Amino acid sequence: MKKQLILGLAVAAGLATGFGLDPAQAQKKSLVIGMGSADAGKLDPHLASTTPDKGLLNYIFNGLVRVKPGQASPDFIEPDLAESWTTNANGTEWTFKIRSGVQCHHGYGPFSAEDAAYSIKRASSKATSSYSGDFAAVDKVEAVDGSTLKITLKNPVAGFLGYVANINGGNMVCKKAAEEMGENFGKKPIGTGPFQFAEYQPQQFVKLTANKQYFRGAPVLEDITYRYIPADSSRDLAFQSGELDMIYGKQDQTWVDRTSKLPGVKVKAMEPGELSALYLNITSKPLDDIRVRQAIAHAIDRKAIVQFKGAGSSREAVSVVPSGYLGTDEKSPLYAYDVNRAKALLAEAGYPNGVTVKTIHTTLTGMQTFIEAVQAQLKKANINLEIELVEHATFHAQIRKGLSPIVHYQAARFPVADVYLTQFYDSASNIGTSTAITNFTFCNVADTEIRAARVEMDAAKQKALWKTAQEKLVTNVCGIPVYEQLQLWAWKDNLDLGYELNGSLNLSPPVTEKTKFTK
Amino acid sequence: MTAFLIRRLGFAVITLFAVLTLVFVLVRIVPGDPAQVILGDQASREAIEALRERLGLNLPLYHQYVVFVWGALGGDWGTSMMTGRPVIQEVLNVLPWTLELTFLSLLIGVVIGVPLGVAAAVRRNRFTDYAARIGSLLGLSFPPFVSALLLLLAFSIGLHWFPVISAKSGSLSAWVESITLPAINLGLITAAYITRVTRSAMLEVLQEDYVRTARAKGVPWTVVVWRHALRNALIPVITIIGLYLGILIGNSVLTEIVFSRPGLGKLIVGALNQRDYTMLQGMMVIYTLVVVLVNLATDIAYGIADPRVKFK
């Protein structure tokens, strides 16, 4: 009750500042973020798989290494809990020197190599992690001593550091807390990051307080309230009224245009771009005929789609791998927009009067408007795209059963070409198999290159293999990449993030020890 | 009365059981896999199978059913597949929010709806009547999320009287700040409904012989209307209020979402989207219970409003 009262007072105080009733108040120290989901999901970093959960957990946890705040590319990997690291010549043995003097939240003691080893084992286990697959190549993890961690791999892994970075399975948990709480770890996640878990109110918010012992220095902000506000319009209004300092935007251009006009507001379309692509099942009729697939590729006007989606928040796709990833072929031979050529190809394939193809599609608004635009474009080439709309979870279930000959998928992955190529184009990932992930195409034309690149230690050779793989996939029209959707966020301009924001791997801007209000 | 109650409760148990079974089967017929939702779209087939096993989803359907019913009978409604928290705790967390909103909006509905309905009936085909009829038609036709947004735009953004995030607690003033707009939003719709029912019930009663008799022997018009006529017109109004209470609890979801309030509606929509089977089952028990109890309360209210009603 007392706690509620204090909370009530704090909220009332926040409200008063928000409404500008108390201009004499000292510098603001509480950050309120509005996220677009109805409630918290899994707050265990090794189980969290949604953008809202990942964004929040990023404030609580560190990795062995991290991508520099504000960046979304592995080029910016820098030390985090590990001060330094070395690897052997073929990349199968990694030794990390763990930073000393790092404290786990809520008095769970110092963070050591022991904790790091435990954490990686936890992330590798199917029973405790959604990301066990990422660690399939891990053979042995051991704490050589309190500050030395050694990881032995069965085979070299492209971009291995990405898996021990501060995202997904790379988030480092504190052993004592995780063992003590077991399955309940997600109810009070304990990490080493700048902010620590304080309170959860169902369907309302999670509150974090500053970790004064944070190894990079005590945060300037005192607390973060991470509010769950599923309605886009309500989030916008609460932002406008001053109740929220930072919001997850509605992912479309009209939102950008409208929000940019508000006074004292910064709007950012940040990396990574989620690639929207059509995946064609090459074993289904009539898509088994490459000329039909080529016709579809020729009939899609990427430029027009970007105009439709908004140039400020989207851009044309460059390859079957999103742009900017390590190994993306930024000039892959995509099919040019040419309706006549499309019609000619269809006629050649024996469909002079056009052809009908089907897709099962989600009702998520952003994705739906895209597929409707594509449908209109295809019609000009006499390709009739039948769209069967289903709700999102049904969509995910049905496309994995192979019921949709054309699958529209929109995704960002860890920015190394291998991840995208493996998940979407390696035949080992074919849906319906025991190792299935998201290969809806049943293509295997690039298996050799994808697999060879995965274990190639020579960076130049690896890039060349990835390039060939992408060329083959584009030429065979396994997938048709169309456009990339950037991540839209807005915040008050009196909030200084403490770094320059270009992007963020977990799709939410980091809040660091340096983040502060300037007035 | 006691026999009546026992019989009704017996029916309630049967209804509950039927609903439970139906829900159990229905949620599993709908395509979509909770394990996939939990693990996310990058999870491998193996990981998903392992989770299905942990959640007991790979057991034969009858086995799952027995486990579920056995648990439910013992008061264990399972844990949410998504959050790992007990279903009952998840429900109890948000139930007070839903109840306060529902009852307050019902109160607003009755306080506005009944007098307005009576006034419209008494001044039939005159200005008051037309205004009440058009007003209530508007109220019924307006989608609650649109009216909610308009209220927010006017009173939160325009006048700064209320917060946009209407979910504060801890003090009376904070509570009033948070509940006012949502309750008005739902309350006005309820009022529209009640106005129309009251009006038509009153119109019928006002033509009865005893009303004319009362008038003829010199009873003042207001007493005739409020004591003689309204009392008799109340039965259909109570029925509607009872039915509407059940609907209100379900319908509050849009209001909850726009005003960023916690609530049962949001919980059930979330559980449905995520295929959280255990959560859905638990929620359905609650909803059925509420509807059954409200119906029972309605029946009892008949007797209070009209002594001629006998409980058989």
Model confidence pLDDT, tens digit, residues B23-46: 888 888 877 788 887 777 777 777
Return the DSSP state at B85. S
Question: Residue A99 above 90 pLDDT?
Answer: yes
The DSSP annotation for A340-395 comes to HHHHHHHHHTT-TT-EEEEEEEE--HHHHHHHHHHHHHHHHTTEEEEEEEE-HHHH
User: What are A94's strand-pairing partners?
Assistant: A87, A151
Q: Which string of b and e fits A201-238 if b means at least 16 CB within 10 Å? A: bbbbbbbbbbbeebbeeebbbebbbbbbbbbbbbbbbb
Question: Residue A9 above 80 pLDDT?
Answer: no
pLDDT for B249: 67
Measured CA to CA, the distance from residue A207 to residue B214 in angstroms comes to: 65
Across the range A279-292, mean pLDDT stands at 95
Query: Checking DSSP bridges between strand A30-35 and strand A246-248, what pairing results, if any?
Result: parallel
Helix axes A253-260, A232-240, angle to 10 degrees: 10
The total of other beta-carbon atoms located within 10 Å of residue A353's CB is 7
Interface A-B, measured as beta-carbon pairs within 8 A, has a size of 173
- Residue B80 contacts residue A41 (beta carbons within 8 Å): no
Question: Residue A12 above 70 pLDDT?
Answer: no
pLDDT digits (tens, 9 = 90+) for A237-264: 999 999 999 999 988 888 999 999 999 9
Question: Residue A7 above 70 pLDDT?
Answer: no
Question: Residue B307 above 90 pLDDT?
Answer: no
Q: For residue A324, what are the contacts with CB-CB under 8 A and spacing of at least 6?
A: A72, A73, A271, A272, A273, A415
Across the range A67-95, mean pLDDT stands at 92
A258: contact with B, CB 8 A cutoff:
no
Measured CA to CA, the distance from residue B217 to residue B239 in angstroms comes to: 32
The total of other beta-carbon atoms located within 10 Å of residue A367's CB is 20
Structure tokens at B259: 């005003």
B38: contact with A, CB 8 A cutoff:
yes
pLDDT digits (tens, 9 = 90+) for B150-203: 999 999 999 999 999 988 777 888 888 889 999 999 998 889 989 998 998 888
Question: Residue A288 above 80 pLDDT?
Answer: yes
A32: contact with B, CB 8 A cutoff:
no
At A215, the amino acid letter reads F
CB pair distance less than 8 Å for A227 and B260? yes
What are the chain B neighbours of A438 within 8 Å (beta carbons)?
A: 41-42
Structure tokens at A283: 């074993």
- Residue A249 contacts residue A485 (beta carbons within 8 Å): no
Judge residue A173's burial from the number of C-beta atoms within 10 Å of its C-beta, 0-12 exposed, 13-18 middle, 19 or more buried.
buried
pLDDT for A24: 42
User: Could you tell me the CA-to-CA distances from A72 to A66, A167, A506, A507, B278 in Å, in that order?
Assistant: 10, 11, 9, 9, 38
A222 versus A252: which is more confidently predicted?
Answer: A222
User: Could you tell me the CA-to-CA distances from A113 to A94, A173, A175, B80 in Å, in that order?
Assistant: 13, 11, 10, 34
Measured CA to CA, the distance from residue A258 to residue A246 in angstroms comes to: 16
Across the range A179-207, mean pLDDT stands at 93
Helix axes B230-258, B277-305, angle to 10 degrees: 160
Return the DSSP state at A485. E
pTM: 0.85
Question: Residue A273 above 60 pLDDT?
Answer: yes
A54 versus B78: which is more confidently predicted?
Answer: A54
- Residue A85 contacts residue A65 (beta carbons within 8 Å): yes
At A501, the amino acid letter reads L
Query: Checking DSSP bridges between strand A223-228 and strand A30-35, what pairing results, if any?
Result: parallel
Across the range B281-307, mean pLDDT stands at 78
Structure tokens at A446: 């690039």
For the CA atoms of A172, A175, A176, A179, the dihedral, rounded to the nearest 10 degrees, stands at: 110
Query: Checking DSSP bridges between strand A148-153 and strand A205-210, what pairing results, if any?
Result: unpaired
A396: contact with B, CB 8 A cutoff:
yes
Residues, chain B: 312
pLDDT digits (tens, 9 = 90+) for A432-484: 888 888 999 999 999 999 999 988 888 899 999 999 999 999 999 999 999 99
pLDDT for A23: 44
The total of other beta-carbon atoms located within 10 Å of residue B201's CB is 23
Best mutation site among B51, B165, B168, B259 for testing chain A: the one with the most A CBs within 10 Å?
A: B165
User: Could you tell me the CA-to-CA distances from B286 to A7, A508, B291 in Å, in that order?
Assistant: 30, 36, 9
pLDDT digits (tens, 9 = 90+) for A320-335: 999 989 899 999 999 9
Question: Residue A15 above 50 pLDDT?
Answer: no
Question: Residue A192 above 50 pLDDT?
Answer: yes
Q: Which of A8, A230, A437 sits opposite B168 (nearest CB)?
A: A8
Judge residue B30's burial from the number of C-beta atoms within 10 Å of its C-beta, 0-12 exposed, 13-18 middle, 19 or more buried.
middle
Q: Is the ipTM of this complex over 0.85?
A: no
Question: Residue A351 above 90 pLDDT?
Answer: yes
B26: contact with A, CB 8 A cutoff:
no
User: Could you tell me the CA-to-CA distances from A447 to A407, A411, B46, B221 in Å, in that order?
Assistant: 20, 21, 21, 90
Sign of CA dihedral A34, B35, A151, A435: negative
A387: contact with B, CB 8 A cutoff:
no
Q: What is the three-class DSSP state of B31? A: coil
Confidence band for B312, pLDDT divided at 50, 70 and 90: low
Question: Residue A1 above 70 pLDDT?
Answer: no
Reference A334, options A296, A380, A367, A370; nearest CA is A296
CB pair distance less than 8 Å for A393 and B39? no
CA angle A276, A342, A442 (to 5 degrees): 50
Residues, chain A: 519
Question: Residue A10 above 70 pLDDT?
Answer: no
The total of other beta-carbon atoms located within 10 Å of residue B105's CB is 27
pLDDT for A148: 96
Structure tokens at A94: 């990694």
CB pair distance less than 8 Å for B270 and A393? no
CB pair distance less than 8 Å for A11 and B270? no
- Residue A95 contacts residue A150 (beta carbons within 8 Å): yes
Reference A253, options A293, A178, A339, A313; nearest CA is A313
Q: What is the three-class DSSP state of A423? A: helix
